[in-house]
Amino acid sequence: MNRYIWLAAVVTAGGGLAVVAFLQAAAAVADPSDTGSDAGFTIGNLAFNDPVGTVLGTQTAGYQSFDPLFSNAPLLALGGDNAIILSLGSQGFTVEDSSGATLGTVATQVNVQDLLSIDSAQFTVTSTDPATGLTATQLAELPADGTVYSITNIGGGFANVYEAVPNAGGTAASKITDTLLTPFGNFAMPTSYDAIAPANPIAPLDALGVTSGATGLSDNAFTIGSTTFDPGSDGLNALSLNAGAIAPLLNLNLGSLSASSTFANPGPMENFAVYSGATDAGSAYTSMNNLDLLGIVNGTQFTVQAINPTGTAVDNALTNSGLDFSNAGFNANDLANALVTVPLGKNFGIPAYAPLDFNGDITGQDVTAQLAHNGFSLGTSGISASDIAGVLNTVSTAGLPVDGTVYSVTDLGGGFENVYQAIPGTGGGAATLSDTFVTPFGNFNVPTSYDATAPMNPGAPFEALGSALSSAGLSDNAFTLDGTTFDPGSTGFSPVYAIIGIAPLLEISGANLLGHPLVTQSGVEMYDSSGADLGTVTFGENVSNIFGIETSQLTVSAVDAATGLTAAQTAELPVDGTVYSVANLGSGWENVYEAIPGSGTTTGATITDTLITPFGNMDLSSLFGSWDATAPLDVGDAVDGVNAGSSAAADAMAGFDLFDPSTWF
């Protein structure tokens, strides 16, 4: 059952720019065509039965299903009922204890993941409603708000069940258990992965240490190259915008969103004091990303969005500028403080306002906005905002990082860290890249071409396919899929910037917010195998680069057919919702996935998957045929058959045969 609502989100950025985005929100619950089970599951002494999905205040029996927030079939899909900043619903259960007594009901927030056809669901308890007449013992059995249950259904009777119980303050876990269910019995898995504690982006950075000779640094300061960054004694803010969480596998977090549909410049949400050697150079305002992988790999990436010299440097420039402060009622120092003071209060990951960026192009309008934010007025001083801007553009920013510089630190534990840096080139030139592997035995330079400052090209994996047509009218960017040739034109696909990135491990872009693609490519020409023009198509885009493997998923969102098509040509037009996903594995190896939506409510999608190799093509449709990228993610797929309350896991191992691999998954 789909429910639609039009949402209008207004984001106010620096300079008073208002960006209005209308999103068609679609959430699905308990669709009869879903493949997941509507049965409950058991964890420990508690049974979670009678699932009820609530969306926009409407309850429906069964599990929720979601259009993915991000998808690259058949590799990875992420979704949930809290799409970064918008919470649309919850998943409810009736809770029973081991004796069968009903303890009450719980409401949970759900995250869902499909990784190579392995389904996972994470439930975070948001509220409980105890049944009447409970004893004190029974009341204590109800899960506390904030409790996290995460189930990964590997298949064939194998599943991983994780549970984290919050401490009294709800700020971290007081108890963590992880159980591997197998047909041969259940096994406790040691883990310190805390799904309750907020993401801590300072942890990987702290491990770097400090080599600066500066005095007065906080314990959170760290050095990369010759630059030392200090967030202050309070450290960094916890990152509250979650792009995917499945304990104990994965946790992806970002600190702020962009007002741009291409995600080029997410708002700065952290301010670092910057030192060049022992010299105070000023401040850098940055956006933050964080990754926790298996509780072992912890990575933080921060990108410089604005730079400020020291207040003293600005004060000196204003004092020596020739501006007349005699009738102003304020002096150069007062003005300097108002120009470089920026409280980064946030709402839904959007900063209160953007700081002045001393990159040489400050305008009078920028100065006016900055002074207004700090309640400072030039009044009748006779000093204009344009005059001030002219002075500010002369202030030296020596020792400060260049705007757009990306720093990414991945802590592998045991004294092993990867430190990546990308400095944007000037005038469109190539970025300066460095990657250092830090070990207890010494540091090693790692050659890399991974440029985290560059946008991603959604068409890159498809271009490697080549075009089956040799028409002179086609651009070099044309490619052929299933007999149809698509041509985005000589300029190719519009570039997109990453929503979240931890260089050089991964970049992800092109999210779908509640079923609506935020990044699209329109006007892509289509031709049949004879070269006849079929019209144009609009694609929704999901793009990723994971460990250097570029993957792009294009989903048909609109088709504009050419006039005068024959019936046969019309039949060749792609159906709305058709998914093409290509992973470029390099050296002539590519995986090409296609899913064509079925007609009606009972017909499944037609799915093909082909591995292209230098030695010939291999049909992998039987392997990935169950991955339907046209269908929503279903919570029931992850919990189907899971019973972590049975030591023998009898329900889970039904049908398993050790000597028959077809029954393993």
User: What tens digit of pLDDT does each residue of 179-207 get?
Assistant: 999 888 889 998 888 999 888 889 899 88
Domain boundary among 372, 392, 412: 392
Domain boundary among 392, 407, 439: 392
Residue 205: strand, helix, or coil: helix
Residue 61 included in any domain: yes
* pLDDT reported for residue 618: 94
Q: Is the pLDDT of residue 647 over 50?
A: no
Q: Round the average pLDDT of the chain to a whole number and report it.
A: 84
Q: How many domains does the chain have?
A: 3
Q: Which helix (H) or strand (E) element contains residue 638?
A: helix 635-639
Tell whether 128 and 208 lie within a shared domain.
no
Residue 444 included in any domain: no
Tell whether 340 and 280 lie within a shared domain.
yes
Which residue carries 């092109």 as its tokens? 510
Residue 529 included in any domain: yes
Tell whether 180 and 207 lie within a shared domain.
no
Residue 356 included in any domain: yes
Q: How confident is the model at residue 327 (pLDDT cuts 50, 70, 90)?
A: confident
Residue 91 included in any domain: yes
Q: Is the pLDDT of residue 347 over 60?
A: yes
Q: Which domain holds residue 122?
A: 2-188
Q: Is the pLDDT of residue 566 over 60?
A: yes
Tell whether 616 and 570 lie within a shared domain.
yes
Q: How confident is the model at residue 662 (pLDDT cuts 50, 70, 90)?
A: low
How many residues would you count in the chain? 665
* pLDDT reported for residue 562: 94
Tell whether 101 and 240 lie within a shared domain.
no
Residue 283 included in any domain: yes
Q: Is the pLDDT of residue 652 over 50?
A: no
Tell whether 218 and 126 lie within a shared domain.
no
* pLDDT reported for residue 221: 94
* pLDDT reported for residue 565: 94
- Percent with pLDDT over 70 in the chain: 88
Residue 249: strand, helix, or coil: coil
Most confident region among 123-132, 210-219, 619-628 by mean pLDDT: 123-132
Distance CA 274, CA 267 (A): 19
Tell whether 179 and 217 lie within a shared domain.
no
Tell whether 549 and 602 lie within a shared domain.
yes
Return the minimum-mean-pLDDT range out of 192-206, 553-567, 579-593: 192-206
- Percent with pLDDT over 90 in the chain: 52
Tell whether 546 and 467 lie within a shared domain.
yes
Q: How confident is the model at residue 24 (pLDDT cuts 50, 70, 90)?
A: very low
User: 521-548: per-residue pLDDT in tens?
Assistant: 999 999 999 999 999 999 999 999 988 8
Q: For 401, what's the count of Cα atoms within 13 Å in the CB-facing half-sphere?
A: 31
Tell whether 283 and 157 lie within a shared domain.
no
* pLDDT reported for residue 348: 65
* pLDDT reported for residue 219: 92
Tell whether 163 and 306 lie within a shared domain.
no
* pLDDT reported for residue 514: 66
Residue 330 included in any domain: yes
Return the minimum-mean-pLDDT range out of 58-72, 309-323, 415-429, 570-584: 58-72
Domain boundary among 165, 188, 211: 188
Report which residue type is found at 336. Answer: A
Q: How confident is the model at residue 519 (pLDDT cuts 50, 70, 90)?
A: confident
Q: Cis peptide before 74, with omega less than 30 degrees from 0?
A: yes
Residue 663 included in any domain: no
Take residue 134 and report the two structure tokens written for it: 């409970």
- Give how far Cα 585 sits from Cα of 114, 461, 516, 612, Å: 20, 9, 28, 10
Give the residue-averaged pLDDT of 476-494.
93
Return the minimum-mean-pLDDT range out of 91-100, 203-212, 336-345, 490-499: 336-345
Residues whose CB is less than 8 angstroms from the CB of residue 234 and which lie 6 or more positions away in sequence, other chains included = none
Q: Is the pLDDT of residue 505 over 80?
A: yes
Higher pLDDT, 578 or 661: 578
Tell whether 280 and 337 lie within a shared domain.
yes
Residues whose CB is less than 8 angstroms from the CB of residue 478 and which lie 6 or more positions away in sequence, other chains included = 467, 469, 485, 486, 487, 488
Residue 511: strand, helix, or coil: coil
